[in-house]
Structures are given as C-alpha cells and as structure tokens.
Amino acid sequence: MVFYELFVRSFYDSNNDGIGDLKGLTMKLDYLKELGVEGIWLLPIMQSAAFHGYTVIDFYSINPSYGNIDDFKELIQEAHNRNIKIILDIPINHTSVKCEWFQKAVNGDEKYKNYYVWANEKTNLKEKRHWDDSLIWFKYKNKYFYGLFGSSSPDLNFENKELWNEIKNIFKFWLDLGVDGFRLDAAKHIFDYDIENMKFKYQHEKNIEFWNEMVNYIKNINKNAIIISEIWDSPEIVKKYHGIFDVEFNFPFSYYIKDTIKYHDPRILVQGINETLHHYISGSIKSISGNFFTNHDMERLMTTFNEDINMSKMAFNILMTLPGYPFIYYGDEIGMRGKIIDVNYTEDSQEPMQWYESGFGPGQTEWKGCKFNPPYNFISVEEQEKIKQSILNHVKDLISFRKENKWLENSLISNLFNDRFTISYILKSHNKEIKVYHNIKPQKTKVKKETYKSYKIYGQGIIKDNYIVLEGFSSIILEK
C-alpha cells in the first residue's frame, strides 16, 4: 500500500475560512486517487486548541475548524468508494490541559486525579527531557504535573488500569465510525516515567504489554484494522516491538536514504538496508516496514537537498523500489519546502498545500503565510501537472509502477552490492524478480546489461549493446 500523510488544516478549504477541513479533503480525494494513494494517514482531527492537534481536548469529537462527525462519515464513505483507507492518528500518551479529565483532576476528582502523573516529595522539578533539555514538570493551580511533551500536554498515568478501558472506548468509537486503523503516536512513551523512583525511564516491557492488549482489542473489533506505530529510536529499540504492530515506521532508514543521496555515498544505503530492513533479507517479517523520508516533525525533503529536484526524485526512486509500505508526506510530491528550527515549533514544515502557482484560488488554505513555498516558484499542483518532467509526474509514475507490482511489498532483498557510483539489489517473491540499480552520484556511470524481459528508467539512461549508461541520480529496474 502507498500511504499519504495528510494535515487537514493545510490541505483544502471548502468554506473560505482559510483553514483546511474534512469537506475540503473529500473534494480532493480524486487528486489522491489519481496520484495513486491507497491509504490516508490523517494527523489528529479531534478537538484541540493546538494548530497540530496533538494535545486533545476531547477524544470523542471533531475539531470544529475541520467540520463535524457527519463530515467525517462522508469522508470515510467517499474514500472507501475509491478504495482508499483512512488511518487516524490518535495521540493517547497525553491530553490537553483543557481536557475535561484534567480539569476534573485539578479540581479534586479522585477518579481523574489517577489519570495523570503528579509530583511528590521524591520529584526533581528541574528534571529535563533527554533530547533537548526542556523541562518536564509544570505547575497548574498549585499542583505539578508531568508533561514530557510540554506545558500544555499533561501525560496520562497508564499504571492506572481503569485508564486502559477508557482508551479502548476511544478506539471503539472511531472504529464504529468506519476508520480502517490507527497511527499510534509516541508508542514508546506510554510508560516512560518510573513513578516508584520518580524519574524518567523508558519501560519497554510495560509498553509492550499495553500495546499487545490494545492491538488485540482493536483486532477483535476489526480484524483487518491497520495498526501503525511511531517508535522514533535506534534499530535496537525498534526491534523490541517487532511483531506487535502491522506497520512500524522506519525512522533510522529515513536518515539513511537522505544521507546516501546528500553525500553521494551508496555505502550508506547498503548499511541502512542491512541494519533496518534485515527482516526482508532473512525472511523473518513480523511487521511491515513503514518507509519514508520525512514527516510533520522533520525538515522537508527538498530543504534537506537544498532544493535539488533530481536528488528528491532519487529519494522517491529508492522509496518505491524497496519492500514495505511507502509513506509520502503531503506536498513532498510537488517538492514543497520547510525547515524546522526547533522541535517545539513545527509550523514551517506544515505550510499550506500549494494548489495554484499564484498561491491563491478556490480551496487554497491560508491559515499560515508561506515562508518556504511562495507563489511563482514552480511549487504547485497546477503548474506541475502540465510538465512531464515535474517531480509530481515522476512520483505518479513511480507509484503506478509500485501498484502494478504489489508483490514488492513483501519481497525479499538479495544480492545487495555497491560500487563507487551505484547500489544494486534483487527483489524476489515466488516467481517474480527484478533487479534495481541506483546511481547515487550526479555524474553518469555504466552498469552491465543483463538478460531481462523489460526495463524501466526513472531519470535518464541509455541501453547500449552490452551495458547501460545511467545518468546522475537515475535508476533502472530490470525485470528478469
């Protein structure tokens, strides 16, 4: 399956308030269908005061800026009519301080007090989170709460088993509305604070117990539900969770792809495949690798490559010619730019989707100024649909190839090899086999021509008598 990560606020506006909404997304489903998208991962759409939606006020409601439950039902129906699945992002690690649960807790309700983690005499109120030295304890009405993701995001206390039932009710609510699965935000953070010793500590065994129970619950309601986990960590930590979820986001591999192209070094990709796609070499596949290069918390691809379109096309060549499920961040298919200066401020990587070359037109969202994607810079669907060599049409062609060869999702990798210019590998599944060459450098190179039934070139290349001339940042796929 080819997935598309979509931020409703930035996508398409149906009522001229400048904010993307569910009706607007429904109006643009045909664009996604034509692109080749088979599943939409929706960033949180529940009621939230935060622009990104990750601090939820009410888990059983729709953000009124996006519409209502009926709009969501219509979206699901229309998506399903086009054979597109809807995967909902649910951030259950924490709530908003505006959440009714938290407000009841701070006002003394014993049931809801036990939903959160509070400071006591053992607490070091100056403790900071390990990745950027931000504080993790915050004062609210003379009480200190634990909030790993900021002062507006009090963490839930999953030592409280009553809370587990509350979370199950949330999953059931959305499944009953027709969603096809969930993206589980911050999956390794369910148990990340040692309450007994009052200090930050990942407790992976407890996380695994929790998620096993939740996944089994979800599958009992809908055995075909797709469960996607976000575990942003080293390959060693990701391996601990292998087999629990249907799809595991492969964060380490996202960096391997980008660094391979950025530094023109095919050895990096070989290392990345060996380290993070090893289960597609050994055949011990228990969870599908969710492959991507960027998301809403990361710098956009074109910015990473200093706006080099050929390098971005090369990244898509790699993404679409490996096993697993590819995920595309909205706007990357038209080369949108976006830089994150601070992990706490991600707006610049979530700018409005650019439909028009002028930057204005029906449905164009305008909730934020386009610092990185200004008008008349060839960063629009309108302009790129016209030009055969655009990144948009390049991505469409790759997705079309991918969908014609669904077997690639579960294929095995063999014959992994690199020289100074290229990386090559064979993908096999039953009686199907292809060989792929990627020229990672900007200069052209030659590769040996082999017996094949057909070939596809993504980029530029010429087939000679006994060799192939492959231009820089180009790939060739040989069907055996």
Over range 219-225, report the average pLDDT. 97
* pLDDT band (50, 70, 90) for residue 245: very high
The pLDDT of residue 129 is: 87
The pLDDT of residue 240 is: 85
| Enzyme catalytic residues | 185, 230
The pLDDT of residue 413 is: 97
Given a contact cutoff of 8 angstroms between Cβ atoms, the answer to whether 86 and 76 are in contact is yes
The pLDDT of residue 3 is: 98
**3 state SS of 343:** coil
102: left (phi over 0), alpha (psi -120 to 50) or beta: alpha
pLDDT at residue 384 is higher than 80: yes
Q: What is the CATH number of domain 3-95+161-406?
A: 3.20.20.80
Considering the chain, what percentage of its residues have pLDDT values greater than 90?
A: 81
Number of Cβ within 10 Å of residue 47's Cβ equals 20
The pLDDT of residue 313 is: 98
pLDDT tens readout for residues 469-478 = 999 999 999 9
pLDDT tens readout for residues 66-83 = 999 999 999 999 999 999
* pLDDT band (50, 70, 90) for residue 367: very high
What span, in angstroms and rounded, lies between the C-alpha atoms of 270 and 325?
19
Whole-prediction pTM? 0.95
Q: Domain boundaries in the chain?
A: 3-95+161-406, 100-146, 411-479
Distances in whole angstroms, Cα of residue 15 to Cα of each of 25, 67, 150, 359: 12, 10, 33, 17
The pLDDT of residue 334 is: 98
**3 state SS of 422:** strand
pLDDT tens readout for residues 308-346 = 999 999 999 999 999 999 999 999 999 999 998 877 778
State the average pLDDT for the chain: 94
Alpha helices in 115-203 (DSSP H): 161-177
The pLDDT of residue 217 is: 97
The pLDDT of residue 123 is: 92
pLDDT at residue 365 is higher than 90: yes
* pLDDT band (50, 70, 90) for residue 455: confident
Topology (CATH) of 411-479? Immunoglobulin-like (2.60.40)
pLDDT tens readout for residues 189-200 = 899 888 888 898
pLDDT at residue 453 is higher than 90: no
The pLDDT of residue 235 is: 80
Comparing CA positions, the residue from 221, 232, 120, 124 lying closest to residue 178 is 221
Which residue type occupies 251? F
Better pLDDT: 466 or 337:
337
User: Which residue's structure tokens are 């001339």?
Assistant: 469
